[in-house]
Amino acid sequence: MKIKQFLLIPALFGISVSTAIAQQVPCYFKYRDEGIQEMRQKKFSDANNLYWLAFLCSDKPEKNDLSDLIQQCQANWVRDLEVSVQQQKVAYEAAVTARQEAEASKVSEEKARREAEKNARKAREQGIRAESLRMALVSDMVRQKGRISDALTLAYLALQMAGPDLSPPMMRAFGDAVRDSFTHTLFNSPDILERMEPLNGNATGVLLKINGGNYYILRDGSNDMQSQVTRLDSDLSNVTASPRGDRFIGWGKSPKIQIFDATGAEVAVLTGHSEPIRTAAFSPDGQLIVTGSRDNTARLWSHTGNPLAVLDGHTGNVQQVVFAPDGSYFLTRASDGTARTWSLQGTLLAVFQADDAYLRTVCIAPDSKQIAAVFSDGQARLHTPDGKQITALNPKDQPAKDVIFAAASPILAVCVGAKTVQTCTTSGTALATCIHQTEVTGMALAADGSALLTWAKDHVVRLWDNHGKLLHELRGHRTDVTEAAFSPDGRHILTTSKDGTTKLWDLEGNILTDWVSGPNALVQFLPNETAMLTVMNGGRSVARIPFPEQIYGQMNRQDVLDSAGAKAVLEEFKVQFLDALTARQ
C-alpha cells in the first residue's frame, strides 16, 4: 500500500506537468501520429494517452479526428482485450482441463496402485492359504509313512501359516498328527474291553471290565499304568466305584456283596439279601451304600458294611438304585413298574407309578429337586422327590421315549414320538422343538443347556441351539451313531458309531480327528482334563488322547519354528511364504 502511494504522487505530478506543457506547446500532430503508431502496435493505452494529450495541444485544429481516433482506439482496445480474454479463457479452460486430466490420471494411478496392491495381497493370501493347505496334506502323507514328528511339525506350521483362515483339512491334519503323536497307551488288555470308567474324573485311575467278566483297576500310572493293574475277584458280574474312586462294590451270582479298597483288597462282605444283587450305588459323599436285589428289597449300608435299613415295599426285582446328586435322598426302581424315593434313614418318601402303565425310565435332576419319569403308555412327568407332580412333559398324543437333564442348568430334553425332541425348563416352559426326518435314536444336552445334540437313523448327528435352530449337521459316520456327547467345557463333541469309529468334532461341525475304538466304542471325556480316554487296538487297549487345542497351545509356547526339526522340514518340503510364518509367529 505504501509503495502504491509513493508511486501515485510522481505519476500525478508527471501528468500535470505534461498537460501544462501540452497546452503551451504545439504538439497536436506529433501526439496524434505517435498515438496512431502506438495504436497500430496495439499499445492502446499509450495511444489513448497520446490522443488525449493531442486533445490538449494548442495547435489542435477545430475539426479533428481525435474523438474518432479515441473511440477507434478504445474499440480496438476492447476488441483486443476481448480477444485476449477469450484466449485466456481458452487457456484457462485448457489449464483446467489439463489439471482435471492430471488429477484424473492421478486418481486412476492411485486406483490402479491400490488395485494392484489389493491383487498382490489377495494373491499372497491365496498363496498362503494354498501353501498352508499343501503343508497340511503333506503332513497327512508323511504321517501315513510313519514320520509322526515331522507330520506334527508340518501340521502345526500349516495352522500357524493359515492364521485365522483355517480350513477343515488343516484342523483334521493337525488333530490326526496330535492323535498319532500324543496317544498314550495306559493298558493292554488280554481281551476286548466291555466297560471303561475313569475314577474320580481323571485318567490316573480307571475301572475296566474285560470280555469274560474280569474287572481291573488301573492306578496312578501316568507313564506305566500297565504295571499297576489290580484284578478284582473273578466271580464278579458287576462293580460300582465310589465317587472318589477309592472303594468298589462288587457282586456276582450270589446274594453277597463285596467291598474292595483302592488296592483291590476285600475290606467287607455284606450279607443279608436272599437273592442275587441287581444294582448298587454309593452316596455322593461315599459314606452310604444302597443295594438292590432280586429278593424285591433294597438295603442301606454304611460304607464300612454295617446294615442300616431294609427297604421293603417293591414287589419285583429292584433294578436300579440311585442317590440324589445332593445326597439328600435316594431312589429305587423295580420290575413291579414303580419307583420309590427314600430318606437316608430308610423312610419311604413317595411312590412313583401310573394307572395301567409300567414305569420304564426315571432320572433325577442335577439339583435333586425334580424327578422325571417315563411310563410305558408314553406319558412323561416331572415330580418333586416327595411325589408331587410338577408338570406333564409331553402331550398325550405324542408318547415320550426318553428324558434327559442338562448337567448344570434347569433344562431337560424329551424325545417325543419317533422324530421329535423338545426342550423345556424344569418348570415346564417349552424352549425348542427339533424335528427330524428319520427316527431319533439318542440325544445329549450341553451342561449349560445352551445346545442340544441329537442323532438319528440317518447316521447324522445334529447340533441345535436352545431355540431349536439347527446349527450344524455332523456327517461322517457310515453306520448308526451309538453315542454323542459334549466335552465338559462344551467346545468339543465326541461321537461313536456301530462301525467302531469315534470322531472328535468342533462346534462348527468340523472333524478334528477320528480313530477306531473297537467293537464297543468305549470313549469318554475326562472331566478334569483336556483329554479323552478311549479304547483302541480293536478294543484291547486303553489310551489317553489330548485335545488338539491343548497341544497347539503347548507348541505355541515353544519356539517350534526355530527348532532344527522345523527348519529341516521346511527345507525338505520347500515351504513358501516363510515370511508370513515368521510374521505370524
Residues near other proteins (CB under 8 A): 213, 237, 252-253, 276, 278, 294, 316-317, 319, 335, 337, 356-358, 360-361, 376-378, 399, 401, 441, 457, 480, 498
Question: Which of 278/303 has CB closer to other proteins?
Answer: 278
Which CB contacts under 8 angstroms, 24+ apart, belong to 416-421? 416/380, 419/456, 421/452, 421/454
**Sign of torsion, CA 116 122 128 131?**
negative
Task: Provide, rounded to whole angstroms, the least separation between the CB of residue 373 and other proteins.
Answer: 14
b/e 556-574 (16+ beta carbons within 10 angstroms → b): eeeebbeeeebeebbeebe
CB of 295 to other proteins, least distance (A): 12
Q: For residues 376 and 380, what is the distance between their CA atoms, to the nearest angstrom?
A: 9
* Inter-CA distances, 138 with 378, 446, 566, 581, Å: 54, 36, 14, 17
Residue 202 vs 361, nearer CB to other proteins: 361
Amino acid at 568: A
- The residue type of 475 is R
Instruction: Find the shortest distance in angstroms from Cβ 581 to other proteins.
Output: 49
Shortest gap between Cβ of 443 and other proteins (angstroms)? 14
What is the Cα Rg of the chain in Å?
48
Nearer to other proteins, 60 or 401 (CB): 401
Joined grid coordinates for residue 75: 474499440
By beta-carbon proximity to other proteins, the closer residue of 29 and 358 is 358
Sequence-ordered list of residues with C-beta below 8 angstroms from that of 91, at least 6 positions apart, any chain: none
Closest approach of other proteins to the CB of residue 200, in Å: 27
Give the nearest distance from C-beta 426 to other proteins in angstroms: 23
* Smaller CB separation from other proteins, 60 or 278: 278
- Say how far apart CA 319 and CA 277 lie, in whole Å: 9
CA–CA distance, 29 with 218 (Å, rounded to integer): 136
Nearer to other proteins, 32 or 278 (CB): 278
| Closest separation in Å from C-beta 243 to other proteins | 24
Residue closer to other proteins by CB (options 409, 520) is 520
CB of 214 to other proteins, least distance (A): 12
Residue 299 Cβ, how far from other proteins at the closest point, in Å?
18
φ/ψ (deg, to 5) at 108:
-65, -35
Distance of CA 140 to the CA centre of its chain: 24
**Residue spans of beta strands (DSSP E) within 457-530:** 461-465, 470-474, 481-486, 492-497, 501-506, 511-516, 523-525
Residues 6+ apart with CB under 8 A from 489: 530
Nearer to other proteins, 205 or 337 (CB): 337
Nearer to other proteins, 136 or 440 (CB): 440
Q: Crossing angle for the helix pair 564-572 and 148-162, nearest 10 degrees?
A: 80
